[in-house]
Structures are given as C-alpha cells and as structure tokens.
Amino acid sequence: MSTNQRPFLQSPALEARSFATGTTAAASATATLAELADDAATGNPGQRMTLGKIVNDGLTFDRFASTYYIAAGAARFLRVCFEVESAYAAGLQTWLTVGLAIQDSAGNTVSPSSTAIPYGLKNDVDYSAWFNLGAAPRFASGQRPVFWLDVEALITAGLVAADAPWRFAWTISMHDANAYLRGLQVEERAQFLIDESAAFGQIPTDYLPRYAVVDGTPGGMQRLWETVRGGNVANLRTYHGMSRGDTSPWLVSATSFAPFGSDTESTGVAARYRVRGRRMRGATACPVRWCVLYKFTGGSAGQTATVKLTTGTGSTTVTVSWADNTTWYTSALVTGASLDNTTTHDDVVWSGLVSTSGPILSVAARYVFDDPSP
C-alpha cells in the first residue's frame, strides 16, 4: 500500500477545458485532479463538538456533559482543546481535571483507562488557572492544553464507526467553587497523509508523465470517483451542536409543543439558531439528521415525550418512552430533516412536549449533522 504526505493543504484550480473532448490528456491534469480529490475528501472535515462555560455550585464539584460525533472517515485525528479559568480575584490557584469516555450507539465503550484515550483526558492531570485582579485578564489566565484523539485507535479499541453517533461523555472535576471550564472544543483535523489502505484517497504519482496511468487495486484511477465522492458523503458538518451540563439541562413539561425553558428569545418564543446548509445541489434542501441526549423524570410506564426540530423546510420529531427517572439516554438518530437552501441561511428551532401533565423532559445535548445523499 502506498502513502502520500501532503506538504500543505491546497485546492488546486483545474479548469474544465483541461479535459475538453479532443484535448490531449496530460499527466499534470490527472495528477492535479488526484490532489483536488484528496482535498475534497479530507482537506476540510467539518464536524466539531463544543462545550460552553461549565461551573459548579460550590457543593458538588464534578460536572458531566456529552457531545456527539459520527466517524465517517474524513478525518483520522480529532483535536481536543479546553480552557481552564479561575474566578479567584487575588492570584490564588485552583485547578480541574477532565475525563473522557466514548460510547457508540450499540453500547461499545472506550473508558478513560483505555490506551486510546490520551493522558490528560483520564481525570489524571490537574490543569491550573490563576487570576490576578487588575493585571492578567481572566481570558488569558488559564491553560489551554491540546490533545489528539486517533479515530482509528478508538475503532481498534472497540468502537464501531457504523454505530453512529458516538457519545463523548466528559467529566470535569473542579477543585473548588472558583475553578471553571471556559469552553471545550473538539475539531476534526484535515488529513495530511493519504493512505491507499484507507477507504479513499488518491496518490498523485499514480499519474506520472510518460508512464502508464495506475489502474491497480485499490489505487489509481479506480479510486478517483470513490475519493471525490468522499468529499460529499464522508464530509459531515455539525450544523448545530449544543450541550449543557447534566445539572442544567433544557426542560419542558408542557403537553403541547413549547420551547424549552431558558431557550427563548422572548417570552414563549423559542430561540432560533441560524445555520447555513451545505449547497451541493443548488437550492435543493440540505438533508440532515439529529439526536438529543435526554432524561425523562417523574413519569410512569406508557408515558412519552417528544422533541421537535423545526427548520425552514418543516419539522421532524422523536418520541421517547419513560423508562426510569435517573438515566440519560441518546435518542434515535432522526433522519428525514433538511435545511432550506432557497435563501442564504436557515434557522434551527427546538421544542418539546410530554404526553401527560406532570413528568419533565430534560435535554442536555442537541446535535444536527449532515445526512448527504450519494
């Protein structure tokens, strides 16, 4: 198997007339197309996960939050970065630790003790922050450690890419009431190494001047369309990815669709989150899928709750049944939703209901992903 290290990321310009009928085929054109295909498939991966500011109440110092990811193959590495800050006003030190466990939708789990979870994300390192009033602004007072997660290593450790989405369960253990997490960010890393053993990828040297075009297995011309196609089907955007700590979820207890509490732009009106759908087919709606992390408390057998996602093209729902009062569950990955591409942007709006008055539906994470058609 061959590999090719891309020295830098570029999207080469390739004019349509390079391949005009009657034009002599040139190795430079096909080698450029190989580079372009690689960049389409792996140069702009678009999934990310974010946590906002996470604090504690001074009584319980551990906080839990979840984010979601679909391992579609566009990225091998995930870049993890968080910022630790302190509310102390006089230069006192405080710190926190971060732990990560990952579970796929079939229940396969990678725990913090796994070798696939890097040191520093095993609740094993104290990350400190200082704040000196009047001198160092708080935004610059904390550490910003960076970690790398290897998706292939996570799959080797037991996760299954097809069992999507993967739930990233974060544990933030704070030393005292003044420690807090400013934000946590996970971003797919563009790939610099093209590997023929992967699902797609083109080796530009398969198209050398004065040599025969490589048409082997699995390299060369045969993987050209497969690689280009990866630029559509394997490159997923996270259009909307909001998570709240398990102690401050969005709540709904209405028996007809209503906004989640604290998620309104004015009284009784649900907040609208603007997104731009990927425009692969002009004004045709952009298909998306979504899930939520929920807990259904105070209910009994037979009671249900429903979450609705509304966009410019309509709404889709997921209905869950009461099971117990304590467990957080990931909903099914809802398909059939889409984003309106007839205008410059669309809005994502959430609402929910419970089947009978009394129980409360708590939602701690809401994620909307691409769901591209081939």
Partner 1 sequence: MSTITTASRWIALPTAAGAADRARKNQPADGALMQVLSSNATLACRENGLRTLWERGPAEVYLNTPSPHPDQPEWMPWNVQTETGYLIDYAGTHRVRSWGETGFSPRIVLATRGSVSSALYDLVIALYVLPLAGYPDNFTPYAVARTNSTSTADLVAVYTLTPEVISAGARHEVPSPGTSPPVPVTEMGPDAAVALYVGAYCTSNSSGQKALLGGLTIYLEEPA
Q: Does 12 bind partner 1 (CB under 8 A)?
A: yes
Roughly what angle, to the nearest 10 degrees, separates helices 27-42 and 224-233? 30
Q: How far is the CB of 119 from partner 1 (least distance, A)?
A: 5
Identify which of residues 234 and 359 has a Cβ nearer to partner 1 in the complex: 234
Among 91, 106, 211, 262, binds partner 1 (CB under 8 A): 262
- Within 282-311, the residues that bind partner 1 by CB under 8 A are 282
**Cis status, amide bond into 165, omega within 30 of 0:** yes
Is residue 228 within the footprint of partner 1 (CB under 8 A)?
yes
The number of C-alpha atoms within 13 Å of 113 and in the hemisphere containing its C-beta is 0
Among 2, 143, 205, 222, binds partner 1 (CB under 8 A): 222
Q: By CB under 8 A, is residue 323 in contact with partner 1? A: no
Largest CA distance in the chain: 76
In the chain, the amino acid numbered 14 is L
Residue count of the chain: 374
Residue 115 binding partner 1, by CB under 8 A: yes
Question: Phi and psi dihedrals of 214, rounded to 5?
Answer: -70, 130
Q: Which residues pair with 283 in a beta bridge?
A: none
Contact 63, 174 (CB under 8 A): yes
User: Does 280 sit near partner 1 (CB under 8 A)?
Assistant: yes
- In whole angstroms, give the CA distance from residue 94 to residue 55: 13
Residues linked to residue 48 through DSSP beta bridges, in sequence order: 187
Q: Rule CB under 8 A: is residue 140 a binding residue for partner 1?
A: yes
211 touches partner 1 by CB under 8 A: no
CB of 322 to partner 1, least distance (A): 26
Question: For the chain, give me the number of helices (H) and strands (E)?
Answer: 3, 23
Q: Give the x/- contact pattern for partner 1 in 54-93, rule: CB under 8 A.
A: ----------------------xx-x-x-x---x-x----
26 binds partner 1 (CB under 8 A): no
Number of residues that bind partner 1 (CB under 8 A): 111
Kindly indicate which of the ranges 109-117, 288-296, 309-317, 326-334 contains the residues binding partner 1, using the contact rule CB under 8 A: 109-117
Which of 57, 62, 128 minimizes the C-alpha distance to 99? 62
Task: Give the residue from 309, 313, 314, 311 showing the smallest Cα distance to 350.
Answer: 309
Q: How far is CA 91 from CA 53, 125, 288, in A?
A: 21, 21, 47
Give whichever of 144 and 335 is closer to partner 1, judged by the CB atom.
144
Single residue of 106, 133, 162, 208 touching partner 1 by CB under 8 A: 133
Among 28, 162, 211, 215, binds partner 1 (CB under 8 A): 215
| Residue 251 binds partner 1 (CB under 8 A) | no
> From residue 143 to residue 172, what is the string marking binding to partner 1 with x (rule CB under 8 A)?
-x-xxxxx--x-------------------
Q: Report d(CA 127, CA 238) in Å as an integer.
A: 28
CA pair distance 277, 311, nearest whole angstrom: 11
Smallest distance, Å, CB 53 to partner 1?
7
Q: Establish if 17 lies at the interface with partner 1 (CB under 8 A).
A: yes
238 binds partner 1 (CB under 8 A): yes
